[in-house]
Structure 1
Amino acid sequence: MTIKSFLNDAYTHQFNAKVTSIEQENQLYKIQLDHTFFYPEGGGQPCDHGNIEMLEIADVQIDQEDIFHISKDCPKFKVGENVTCKIDFSRRFTLMQQHTGQHILSSCAEKLYEANTIGFHIGADYVTIDLDQKLTQDQIVKIENSANQVIYSNKEVIAHYPTAEELANMPLRKQPKVTENIRVIEIVESDFSPCGGTHVKTTSEVGIIKIKKTEPYKSGIRIEFGCGGFALKFIQERNETINSLMKLFSVKDNEILNFTEQLLESQKNDRANLQALKEQLYKTQVAQILEQFDSEEIKVITLTETDMSMTDLRLKCNILCEAENIIVLAVSSEGEKTHLVLSKSKNVSQEFNMGQLFKSEIAPFGVKGGGNPFVAQGGSSDAVNIDEIMATLEDKIQKMF
């Protein structure tokens, strides 16, 4: 059994302890102490990092009442020795800010909109809570503002170990998951919540809560946010992005959104105009192709294009097949990709089934694709013998005639 000293003091980050066991498992060394201020992973909170006698500790786990300080390096100390332990307090304090901030945000969500927290996780530079209700953006902003008001009020954060009678009289936000040694974190005038995590002493130490984004989660919503150090990093990164956009577009920060909307609308119009010009060009090219044919019989047209996308190749084939008695065998290259389209006019006999033709004559070459009786398409990023494919198709069509 390891005494959990961190429960009563989250600020101690250098201490002495006695080594009670050292185990080796899967090339890792698991060290137990008689007591520890290292917080083990659990309850949505990551573990502490640090060192024991300069031995790096990057993982701390709990099993029943035993806490294991895990290192990939072999310890030089032995069981029974007293050792000096140091916790990375910068990391620890940032995690304390996140956990206390989560209590505040969850409490505000419940008080304002009766939205209960059903999930909680601290990531590398963000925190998420999952609420059991969907909320509007205006409601999210009100929760954020309310949470920051709690921070500014500099309320005390107190850890209680209540008796059963005292626990029954506490306005708990959620019920405890354990039945013994229950620890309740009180944020004065704001929240009572069972919790075994590390917390700051006053709400002002959380610094700030900033919500980054929200997304639907099950029947409710997931809120991603940061507190203190996490929030500062997020704000700095966003500010750097905004400054870069201001410099890139030569606009003020309050003009970026409007400028971007105008830019997107302009691009949309440019794409539409480009597509119209492209269709006009293809129609001219198709007219020139069809001028070469005088017969009313079925015309088999082979198209070979360079640097043309599948979308444009399909468009050109569609324009060709608006005329009657047309079968098109088309191929294009686009970088390392090869595109193939087989299509026919609506009046061409059912005997010429483009989907079946693709499957029987092109698929054996390793080209993936398919289609229906009127049009089939496919392609490959690997090298294929286009000349052989086109010759095979032409030969097949001639035999069908």
Structure 2
Amino acid sequence: MTEKLYYQDSYLSEFEAEVLSCVPKGNKYEVVLSRTAFFPEGGGQTADTGVLVSGQQRIQVLDVQEKDGVVLHETDGLLEVGAVVQGELNFQERFLKMQEHTGEHIISGIVHRRFGYQNVGFHLGKEEVTMDYDGPLTEEELRQIEYEANRAVAENIPIVILEPSKEELPHIFYRSKMEIEGQVRIVQIPGYDSCACCAPHVKTTGSVGMIKITGAIRYKGGMRLSLHCGFRALSDYREKEASVKQISNRLSAKQEEVVCAVKRLEEELAALKEKNKRLQEQLVKAALKEEEQKLLENPVANLLLFAEEMDPAAMRNFVNEAMEKTDGICGVFVGSKEQGFRYVLGKKDGSICSIGKCLNEAFEGKGGGKPPMIQGSLKGNPEAIRGFLEKE
């Protein structure tokens, strides 16, 4: 059994220990120490990282797992059995996790007390913290939960760790997602939460810092919340603040007015789209009118249009209207001979699929569809494409 220093002092960042074993594991090594402050992966939280120092060696601790009470350190180097090493945690990473894990306890305790929902899932990774609850929450309820959680931080409540005996345990209320064998470790935040948990936590709620719910989505009939606390909440705020500043500058609007500015921009964009739609319709009609003389001379002539720009709806409209005027091949090609063309082709008699296949083979194209209309892309110049289709 490894002596688990992280339970004795969650703020311990350096320690000494003896190397009990070191065995190869692929291109890494699995090291067992007599004692450790490295917390292994567990309780929804990823493992601590850091280094083991032996003489001039600085061996990286890449992952930590626990098996049958023994803590296994995955390292990138070999250590001599019997050597005394100095362990150094990446304590900044550890402290961020303790802030966020303790913040999760506060939120989950409030959700359980106010709504009776259970925390049925928890993940604390390097980039994201998520909590899953088995019931829905409204936007207003989430604001209230967040406010109460930050009030708990302001109260700076000492966090209590209990390891009750089997006789004491039935008399203690605590949340747990599973049946626990052996010694139960309970993390209590008086007035807010009591939960079985194996992970290290900060010593007082004040050390959690600001608690911010950053996302909420419906998930498996309940709710999945995203959370940031303390320094991660500060980092998240700075990133979003930088984004708002950039948007503000680009829209020439005050930061507090960017939503209104974006709405105005959306209205302008919608108006431009409507104008573009009308212009595209006029383009289609004008293009078909130009082809009327050709149809007088040959009622089954191909009607083909080449354009630099046209939206997909207008392309399909052209082909649909052209098929009403001729039994020939109807098509529109948008692009350039340098960049290639997007195309839509149609033909009344249903032979357009075989024509499209031949066209793609001849001009490095791809695409398909169902009669009477297909679409795709190809490369070539307009004259060659026209000439090819005149032979079909």
Q: Distance in 1 between matches of 2:357 and 2:41?
A: 59
Residue of 61, 66, 71 corresponding to 2:65: 61
Q: Could you give the per-residue CA deviations for residues 297-349 of structure 1, whole angstroms, max 9, x where no partner exists?
A: 323223334455554433332343343555414434367443232224xxx5x
Distance 2:249 2:127 in 1: 27
Q: Deviation string for 1:280-306 (max 9, x for gaps)?
A: 122112212213332573232233344
**Deviations for 1:91-143, whole angstroms, at most 9, x for unmatched residues?**
11111111111111111111222222111011223211011112221111111
Mark the CA change 1:384 to 1:33 in structure 2 (over 3 Å): closer, same or farther: farther
Q: What SS does the aligned partner of 2:305 have?
A: strand
Residue matched to 1:313: 315
* Correspondent of 2:367 among 366, 369, 374: 369
**1:2-34 deviations in Å (ceiling 9; x for gaps):** 121212210111111111111111110221111
Alpha-carbon shift at residue 188 of structure 1 (Å): 1.2
Task: Name the residue aligned to 2:343.
Answer: 340
Q: 2:391 aligns with which of 373, 395, 398?
A: 395
2:239 is aligned with 1:243: no
AA in 1 matched with 2:19 = V
Pair 1:282-2:272 in alignment? no
Alpha-carbon shift at residue 87 of structure 1 (Å): 1.1
Paired position in structure 2 for 1:157: 159
CA distance in 1, matches of 2:120, 2:247: 38
- Tell me how far 1:176 sits from its aligned partner: 4.8
In structure 1, the partner of 2:34 is 34
Residue in structure 1 matched with residue 304 of structure 2 by the alignment? 302
Q: Runs of 5+ in structure 2 lacking a partner?
A: none
**Residue in structure 2 matched with residue 399 of structure 1 by the alignment:** none
Relative to structure 1, the CA distance from residue 138 to residue 354 in structure 2 (aligned partners, 3 Å threshold; closer, same or farther) is: farther
Matched residue, 2:115: 113
Report the Cα distance in structure 2 between the residues aligned to 1:130 and 1:329, rounded to whole angstroms. 53
Alpha-carbon distance in structure 1 between the residues aligned to 2:136 and 2:286: 54
Pick from 184, 205, 222 the counterpart of residue 182 of structure 1: 184
Q: 1:256 to 1:387 in 2, by over 3 A?
A: same
Output the TM-score relative to the length of structure 2. Answer: 0.90
How many residue pairs were aligned?
386
Q: Are the counterparts in 2 of residues 354 and 371 from structure 1 also a CA contact under 8 Å?
A: no
In structure 2, the residue corresponding to 1:172 is in which secondary structure?
coil
Question: Could you tell me how far apart the structure 2 residues matched to 1:245 and 1:306 are?
Answer: 32
Measured on the aligned residues, the alpha-carbon RMSD in Å equals 2.4
SS at match of 2:156: coil
- CA separation in 1, counterparts of 2:343 and 2:252? 45
2:350 is aligned with 1:353 = yes
- SS of 1:165's partner is coil
Q: 5 Å matches for 1:170-209?
A: 170-174=172-176, 176-209=178-211
Q: What amino acid does structure 2 have at the position aligned with 1:361?
A: C
Q: Is the 8 A contact 1:296 1:325 kept in 2?
A: no
Instruction: Map Cα deviations across residues 28-73 of structure 1 (whole Å, 9 max, x no partner).
Output: 0221111111101121111112111132222212222221222213
Say which SS state the counterpart of residue 167 (structure 2) adopts. helix
Give the partner amino acid of 1:26. Answer: G
TM-score relative to the length of structure 1: 0.88
Code of the aligned partner of 1:353: G
In structure 1, what is the Cα distance between the partners aligned to 2:29 and 2:380? 55
Answer with 282-291 or 297-306: which moved more. Answer: 297-306
User: How far apart, CA to CA, are the structure 2 residues paired with 1:358 and 1:324?
Assistant: 16
Secondary structure (helix, strand or coil) at the match of 1:189 reads coil
Q: Which residue in the other structure is 1:70 paired with?
A: 74
Give me the whole-angstrom Cα distance separating, in 2, the residues matched to 1:355 and 1:72: 62
3-state DSSP of counterpart to 2:265: helix
Query: Which residue among 122, 138, 141 is the counterpart of 1:139?
Result: 141
Q: Are 2:376 and 1:378 aligned?
A: yes
Preserved contact between residue 355 and residue 371 of structure 1 (Cα < 8 Å): no
User: Is 2:335–2:342's contact at 8 Å kept on the other side of the alignment?
Assistant: yes
1:220 matched residue in structure 2: 222
Task: Tell me the distance in 2 between the aligned counterparts of 1:355 and 1:113.
Answer: 62
Letter in 2 for 1:282: V
Q: Which runs of 5 or more structure 1 residues have no equivalent in the other structure?
A: 397-401
